[in-house]
Chains A and B, each alone.
Chain A
Amino acid sequence: MKALHAKGQPLVSDDRPLLRAMGLSKHFGARVACQDVSLDVHEGEVVAVVGESGSGKSTLLALLSTQLLPSNGSIDYRMRDGVTRDLFRLSEAQRRYLLRTDWGFVHQDPRLGLRMGVSAGGNVGERLMAVGWRHYGNIRAEAQAWLERVEIANDRIDDRPDTFSGGMRQRLQIAKNMVTHPRLVFMDEPTGGLDVSVQARLLDLIRGFVSDQGLAAVIVTHDLAVARLLSDRILVMRQGRIIESGLADQVLDDPREPYTQLLVSSILQT
């Protein structure tokens, strides 16, 4: 696996998991959305969660990113100071801070992750201002640099995202999340609804960030091709439970569970 950084530095500095979920369950009344889910995410690792719609993928993502409180279970996270803490024991302010600095969340619909009435530069700058940046020139320069990295032209910095195409919006959303150098990014169908060539460029971009920045990611997708391309490990969910997990190639090439076999065989062959 990709254990070495370009400069020969070990990419993974700690072999303890970055995030460890234990026995997560979420009930909405009598309805079970997530049942007894446990998983580890290590630094620099990309975990894909696949499954059909309604299988509890998005609920799991919302639980992991603490946007939903679980009915049962806990999540430990190793924070930047090296101390592992129980996320649900943190105050709401601390969790928000985490979500805005050390984490990113890329929504399928960029309108949920962006402020459509605020310029691209303002969108990217928001996280910086939230963590205390108060120098307009510096904020703008940083936003500019990130827009360049996601291939948004310089002269679009003051345009609002509602004038952007779908692919640009999604790239802008990624820039907005990456500006504070997060260590863990949650993505909910990041390529959903985009045409194939735009998807490919976006996947390239995400792959670049993962390998250059040592980013860890949890990606929810129903697209097995995306999962194969991006992830190191795959979890298969069905009816709120993880029914199979393993290395990406292993799960996709040699699925064990009948349901996974069905999923894999449902891919259109060209």
Chain B
Amino acid sequence: MTADPAYNFAYLDEQTKRMIRRAILKAIAIPGYQVPFASREMPMPYGWGTGGMQVTAAVLGANDVLKVIDQGADDTTNAVSIRKFFAKTAGVATTTRTREATIIQTRHRIPEEQLTEEQILVYQVPIPEPLRFLEPREPETRRMHALEDYGLMHVKLYEDIARHGHIATTYAYPVKVDGRYVMDPSPTPKFDNPKMDNCQALQLFGAGREKRIYALPPYTRVVSLDFEDHPFEPTPITAKCELCGADRAFLDEIVTDDRGGRMFVCSDTDYCESHRGRVSP
């Protein structure tokens, strides 16, 4: 598909893209640090992935192949719209195959298939500040990051255990990056946290409304916070996908009728489709 000539390549003007790239370079240089950037208006509401789209627009080249997922699925409204948006404004090839993509923009999942050094994973981030709900003052949280003053993060986990008997945070589970910054991995399920650690792909995080970009360079150490006597555990997968039979993939529960019928299927649609037939359900 060729780009609509009415748009600059990938929608944003060149100066804006340079500004975003500078923020990205700084973010890569300081893994886990939230870099402020001059977030632009995008032709969709805040909260729909404007941060991720700006990052994607800034790193996208004419030869890139773009994949967009929303909760793991390629065929949801948000994913389809963003894919079409870049096909129209940049004329880039798009795909739903994880393996074929060079840039994957994601909302709240990491693909099941292992990513490679050739790929960039772009996260849409609603709230980049992991300390926000315990300390609402932004100047104070920034100071806490600067001074590596992270006792408060464990207070949250302590509260979880005191109330529920175990760490009940199941998504946006805080991580420590390269032994320094505490980072919100965006609302991905904690099932995906181990995939962030030592990942081969470059991981970029964009928060449009909050005007922050942060990054994990390839092969960065990412540790989920925990207590010695309550260690981090990824969500256990106790069922099989009823479509492809995968037993180690993150599953969605789908309601199939109004009589209580439901089934569990892979949340990663590409992974599910490529596995069907290979394993018997």
Query: Which residues does A use to contact B, with CB under 8 Å?
Result: 92-93, 96, 100, 115, 118-119, 121-122, 125-127, 129-131, 134-137, 139-140, 157-158
Contact = CB atoms under 8 A, between A and B. Distances in A.
Contacts of A137: 229
Contacts of A158: 162-163
Contacts of B143: 92
B164 to A, nearest CB: 11
B230 interface: yes
A196 B134 CA distance: 34
B261 interface: no
A119 B230 CA distance: 19
Given A121-B162, A136-B161, A127 B151 contact: yes
B232 to A, nearest CB: 12
Nearest to A158: B162
Contact of B155 (A129, A131, A140, A157): A129
A118 B148 contact: no
A125 B161 contact: no
Contacts of B147: 92-93, 96
Given A96-B147, A127-B151, A122 B162 contact: yes
> In which size bucket is the chain B interface?
10 to 19
Given A121-B158, A136-B161, 16 more contacts: A92-B143, A100-B151, A118-B159, A121-B162, A122-B155, A126-B152, A129-B151, A129-B154, A129-B158, A130-B151, A134-B154, A135-B229, A136-B230, A137-B229, A157-B162, A158-B163
A119 B163 CA distance: 9
A94 B230 CA distance: 30
B162 to A, nearest CB: 5
Contacts of B150: 130
Contacts of A118: 134, 155, 159
Interface of B: 134, 143, 147-152, 154-155, 158-159, 161-163, 227-230
Contacts of B162: 119, 121-122, 140, 157-158
Contacts of A126: 151-152, 155
20 contacts: A93-B149, A118-B134, A119-B162, A122-B162, A125-B158, A127-B151, A129-B151, A129-B152, A129-B155, A130-B151, A134-B154, A134-B227, A135-B227, A135-B228, A135-B229, A136-B161, A136-B227, A136-B228, A136-B230, A139-B158
B28 to A, nearest CB: 25
A134 B228 contact: yes
Nearest to B153: A129
Contacts of A136: 158, 161, 227-230
B151 A122 contact: no
A179 B229 CA distance: 21
A96 B158 contact: no
A115 B161 contact: no
A12 B151 CA distance: 32
- Among A92, A115, A129, A158, max chain B CB count under 10 A is at A129
A129 B162 CA distance: 15
Contacts of B152: 126, 129-130
Contacts of A92: 143, 147
A140 B229 CA distance: 12
Contacts of A100: 151
A115 B149 CA distance: 16
A125 to B, nearest CB: 6
A98 B244 CA distance: 57
**Which 6 A-B residue pairings sit nearest by Cβ, starting from the closest?**
A130-B151, A129-B154, A136-B227, A129-B151, A93-B147, A135-B228
B155 A125 contact: yes
B155 to A, nearest CB: 5
A50 to B, nearest CB: 32
A127 B154 CA distance: 11
A15 B103 CA distance: 67
A254 to B, nearest CB: 46
A158 B163 CA distance: 7
Given A134-B227, A135-B228, A96 B149 contact: yes
Interface centre among A96, A136, A140 (most CB of B within 10 A): A136
B159 to A, nearest CB: 5
B159 A130 contact: no
Centre residue among B149, B150, B151, B163 by max chain A CB count within 10 A: B151
Contact of A130 (B149, B161, B230): B149
Nearest to B157: A136
Given A135-B229, A136-B229, A93 B148 contact: yes
A140 B159 CA distance: 11
A92 B149 CA distance: 11
A135 B227 CA distance: 5
Contacts of A130: 149-152
Contact of B159 (A93, A119, A134): A119
